[in-house]
Amino acid sequence: MGVQNEAFLADALFQPIKLGKLELANRMAMAPLTRSRADDNLVPTDMVVEYYSQRASVGLIIAEATQVSTTAQGYTNTPGIYTPEQIAAWKKVTDAVHAKGGRIFLQIWHTGRMSHTHFQPDNQAPVAPSAIAANAKTYINGKGYVECSVPRELEAAEIAGIVDDFRIAAANAVQAGFDGVEVHGAHGYLLDAFLRDGTNRRTDAYGGSIENRSRFLLEVMAAVVKEIGADRVGVRLAPVSPVNDALESNPQPLFEHVVRELEKLHRCISTSSKATRAARATTRLSIMKRCAACTPAYGWSTTATPRRWPKRRFVVAVPTWFRSAAR
């Protein structure tokens, strides 16, 4: 890359950009980073307010992964967004960021089998698509790193309740002042575990075929979009990431299907110009080419991209909403 191109790109980073209905001050986004700074009730502390307000000058902050329910926790002192106290504490964070002119989304998750009985109500087993333990560890205060517990298989009748947990969490995030949410569908957590044949051995409507394994994620996305609007919703995917023992024998057709279905969902809930639709088609094609070419070194977000993927392989963690903004 020449000096002139580098200067152009550096200047472009600091230009404002429209993201859905939001005006961002620049084109830089802060990725969600687990901080484990909530109190024992999983309520964000004053330190969390300070942490995000210090970073409000970035165009968009995506705040740390936050539990949608009491069963969603997998790590020590990670925050929730399902109690009035948690909502009120997050409101202090969003107020502080907005006071400095920043914008902030909340990443919402369910850790699934990436958990331990220590974090579960009444020390129950964590939940997963199938009762397959992750070859991974989590951290418990006073005990250090421990192996994740063997999960129990979710009953099909329980899945609708978790879909609703995501919907309510998104509504709570908006109530807390967030500009939107990013659904965590990557890195071996519950939604990603349902996607992958290495972790999903079900024989019901949520297992087996690619269409069935994708069903849970797509139901969550549809519910969240319906609740708060498509322009406030993103999703994180990581097709070739081995993080947290996330195994899939054939990621390309799986994630081609997921991206196509997400595109259908987008078309169902919002309108777009002919130029934007063409750009999305180009984006989807480049996503698939990159999926085929990537080595499983780490994950990247498949649902958003600038107009072209860079030739060099590196981690991309840009949420889905940038796709409609990058014209």
- Residues belonging to the active site: 189
Residue 150's identity, in one-letter code, is: V
In angstroms, the first-to-last Cα distance of the chain is 22
Residue 220 CA, distance from chain mean position: 12
Give 79: exposed, middle or buried? Use CB within 10 Å, 0-12, 13-18, 19+: buried
Q: How many CB atoms lie within 10 A of CB 306?
A: 16
Strand 233-236 to strand 180-184: parallel, antiparallel, or no bridges (unpaired)? parallel
